[in-house]
Amino acid sequence: MPYARTRLGRLFFEEHGDAQADAPVILLLHGLLFDRGMWAEQIEPLSALARVVTVDGPGHGQSEPPPRFVLEEHADALLDVLDAVEAHRAVVVGLSWGGMVAMRFALQHASRLVGLGLLDTSARDVPVVERVRARSFSVLNRRVGFPRGLFDAAVAPLMFSRNARRERPELVDAAYRRACGFDRRAVGRAVRAVSVTRTDIRDRLPHIKAPTLVLCGAEDAATPPRDSEEIARAIPGAELVLIDGVGHMSTLEAPAEVNAHLVPFVERLIRA
C-alpha cells in the first residue's frame, strides 16, 4: 500500500494520472474529520492535467496516528510526501485544515511550490471560546465517542449549508460515519493542531508570491467568507471566488462549481 514515511508517521496517499519527468504534481489536502475521498469529483478533471496525489492527513483515513503536532510541522511533513512520490514541485490545493497547511507550506517551502488553491479556510488563530469547545470535544470523543445528536447540532451546521442538510442528508450521514471511523486519540491530536494551537499568520501572507486561487462557499459557517476575503487581499495577485448557496464543504456540495474555477486555474499553472 502507498505510504509515505514522514516526521508525523506514515501518511497514506493515492496517485492518479500519469507521472511525467520533472513535472509538478497536484497535491490535494482535505479538511478535518474527512479524508482524501472528499476530492472524488475533482480527481478526474485534474488528473487529465497532471499527476494528482491525494493524502490522508495525520490520523485520518488510512494514515497512522501521529504524535502531537502543530500545523507548521504538518507543512514540513508534506516535503516527505513529495519526496516519496518523486516530485520536486507541486500545486498545493487544500480545503479548511488542508488550506491552513497549504499556506504554511507556501511560507516555509516556497521553492517547492507552483501555486496554491485555498478553499474554505482561514489564516486566523482560534478564538478562546472555540479553543475551549475544541478541547471539550476531544475529551468527549476520546472517552465515549461521537454522539450523533452532537454531530447534527454542532458540527453539521458548520460543515454544510442549510439547503444541503435539508435536501442532501446523505452528505451528513456519510460525514458522520467517516468521523466515527477514525482513531479517537489521533483525531484529538489533529483537532488540537487545527482548533487549539493554530497561530495567526495573516501578517505573513504578503510573503506568498505563488499564484493563488481563494474559493469559499458564501454560506460557510466554519471559515466564513470574511476569512477568505482577508487571505485574498493579503496574498499579492490572489483571485477570490465566492460560490452562492454553498457551505464549508464546497467540494462535496458543489463539485461542478468548484471545478469550474479550480481546474482552469490549475491548468494555467501546469501549462505555463
pLDDT at 146 over 90: no
Q: What is the pLDDT of residue 67?
A: 96
- Looking at residue 257, its pLDDT comes to 98
Model pLDDT, residue 272: 79
Mean pLDDT of 224-234: 98
Percent of the chain with pLDDT over 90: 87
Q: Are strands 90-95 and 52-55 parallel, antiparallel or unpaired?
A: unpaired
- In sequence order, the 6+-apart residues with CB closer than 8 A to the CB of 113 are 89, 90, 91, 92, 105, 106, 210
pLDDT of residue 145: 79
**Which pTM value belongs to this model?**
0.96
User: How are the residues of the chain apportioned to helix, strand and coil, as percentages rounded to the nearest 5?
Assistant: 50, 15, 35
At residue 271, the pLDDT reads 87
**Is residue 223 a contact partner of residue 269, using CB atoms and an 8 Å limit?**
no
- Whole-number mean pLDDT of the chain? 95
- In sequence order, what are the beta bridge partners of 214? 118, 240
Asked whether 85 and 22 are in contact (CB, 8 A), the reply is no
What mean pLDDT is predicted for residues 45-59?
Answer: 97
Residue 153 has pLDDT above 80, yes or no: yes
CA distance 128 to 86: 41
93 forms bridges with which residues in the sheet? 28, 117
Residues 155-188: tens digit of each pLDDT: 999 999 999 999 999 999 999 999 999 999 999 9
Out of 3.40.50.2000, 3.40.50.150, 3.30.1370.110, 3.40.50.1820, the CATH code matching 3-125+200-271 is 3.40.50.1820
Please state the rounded mean pLDDT for residues 29-48.
97
Q: Comparing C-alpha atoms, which of 166, 4, 175 is closest to residue 84?
A: 4
Question: Rounded to 5 degrees, what angle do the CA atoms 171, 103, 125 make?
Answer: 80
Q: Please spell the DSSP secondary structure of 25-50, one letter per residue.
A: EEEEE--TT--GGGGHHHHHHHHTTS
pLDDT of amino acid 29: 98
- Per-residue pLDDT at 191: 93
Distance of CA 208 to the CA centre of its chain: 18
Residue ranges of the chain assigned to CATH 3.40.50.1820: 3-125+200-271
pLDDT score at 192: 94
Q: What is the pLDDT at residue 175?
A: 96
Least confident of 134-148, 196-210, 258-272: 134-148
Cα–Cα distance, 195 to 209 (Å, whole number):
27
Per-residue pLDDT for 21 more than 80? no
Q: Which residue has the higher pLDDT, 145 or 211?
A: 211
Q: What percent of the chain has pLDDT over 70?
A: 100
pLDDT at res. 143:
81
